[in-house]
A = this chain, B = another copy of it.
Amino acid sequence: MKKINIEAVAKTAGVSTTTVSRVINGISTVSDANRQMVLEAIKKLKYHPNPSAQRLASGKTNTVGLIIPRFEGIFHSYYALQVIKGVGIAAERARCDLLLHITDGKTRPASSAVDGIIFVDIYGCEELLDQTLEEGVPTVVLNHYMADLPVHCVAIDNRTAAEKVVDFLLKLGHQDIATITGDLKTQSGLDRLDGFVKALKDRARPAREEYIRFGDFGLPSARTATEALLAMKDRPTAIFVASDEMAQETINVALAKGVRVPEELSVVGFDDNPIAAHGRVPLTTVRQPLADMGRLGLELLLQKGKKSAPTKLLLPTELVERQSCRQTWIER
């Protein structure tokens, strides 16, 4: 049993290896007759080109490194898998290999192993990012907008999203709007709060300080915050919660205390986590295009490479109205 390599194909097709290579790579300067012969030989021998050899000879890896920071939160969140899915499907479509690297912030794929690198979030990987930029590896950062660094970014427009939520609640007649934040060490947590505060300020309805409660995306923090909010003498009529999971907990706490949702309390979440659509009170929330973020990240990397100026994409969100919010004037 002989090895099936490009030479074997060339021999059975009666052409040179160069011609076979041309057919494989879709280079047009091959006569139809020869192309047919080669194609048949390939099929007959069940030939598959050896990727390592292709890469070595061409200098192109056709591979993108996908780096996931190894902090626990990311493995419990809804979003990481959605982003991976987006990147993965785009990669399959582009016939590009994905090198998955779950990192502790120290290791990453060798530059010569990839044409580019995608960071899914950057938390704990700042050094790695500096390295790749220094080495000139084309790089995209997802879900974290880095204004200062010369790197492609695709992120969610959390501020505008928060603004939309505020406007939505104001339009429903709410005067007393509170928020339960996410982890302010994360950009999403911070931006959602900033957007909330700024929106209220811009609309001459500055947020009361006691209406801002700090959570960390964890359920216990949501519980505590909600309890504090509901125990207030002049408690809010609406709460903007920084994640759907937390918002679910807010609803649970409210209902347990006999506070009806949405009749007495409106709640808005963030994520459009499918679990939120089916809970006791279908949650009004903000949908983020997570899979799109992944897809765009890959496409950006493939198109731009390192040539162009860093592209910064801020993806729009969409408010999904379900049944956890209510107009205040209905009950007046």
- Residue ID in chain B nearest A256 by CB atoms: B280
Contact A92/B98 with A50-B56, A75-B82, A111-B48 known, Cβ cut-off 8 Å: no
**A306 contacts the other chain (CB 8 A):** no
Q: Are B111 and A66 in contact (CB under 8 A)?
A: no
Binary contact track A56-91/B, C-beta < 8 Å → 1, others 0: 100001000010101000011000111011001101
Contact A51/B112 with A88-B100, A99-B100 known, Cβ cut-off 8 Å: yes
Partner of A249, one of B84, B113, B278: B278
Q: Are A75 and B68 in contact (CB under 8 A)?
A: no
- Residue ID in chain B nearest A63 by CB atoms: B99
9-residue interface stretch from A101-109, A167-175, A311-319: A101-109
Binary contact track A245-258/B, C-beta < 8 Å → 1, others 0: 10001001000100
CB distance from A6 to the nearest CB of B (A): 12
Q: Are A52 and B48 in contact (CB under 8 A)?
A: no
Binary contact track A33-66/B, C-beta < 8 Å → 1, others 0: 0000000000000001111110110000100001
- Residue ID in chain B nearest A76 by CB atoms: B274
| Chain A binding surface SS class | helix
Instruction: Give Cα A280–Cα B249 distance, bound, in whole angstroms.
Output: 8
**A136 contacts the other chain (CB 8 A):** no
- Residue ID in chain B nearest A85 by CB atoms: B75
Instruction: Give Cα A101–Cα B49 distance, bound, in whole angstroms.
Output: 18
**A110 contacts the other chain (CB 8 A):** yes
Q: Are A75 and B70 in contact (CB under 8 A)?
A: no
Q: Are B102 and A89 in contact (CB under 8 A)?
A: yes
**A14 contacts the other chain (CB 8 A):** no
Partner of A102, one of B68, B85, B223: B85
Q: Are A275 and B219 in contact (CB under 8 A)?
A: yes
Contact A98/B101 with A82-B75, A279-B252 known, Cβ cut-off 8 Å: yes
**What would 13 A/B residue contacts be, using CB atoms closer than 8 Å?**
A51-B113, A52-B53, A52-B56, A53-B56, A56-B56, A70-B85, A81-B81, A84-B84, A84-B100, A89-B102, A99-B100, A220-B278, A275-B275
For the complex of A and B, 5 pairs with smallest distance between CB atoms: A88-B102, A219-B278, A52-B55, A100-B100, A52-B56
Given A70-B85, A80-B81, A85-B102, 6 more pairs with CB closer than 8 A: A76-B274, A81-B81, A99-B100, A219-B275, A220-B278, A249-B279
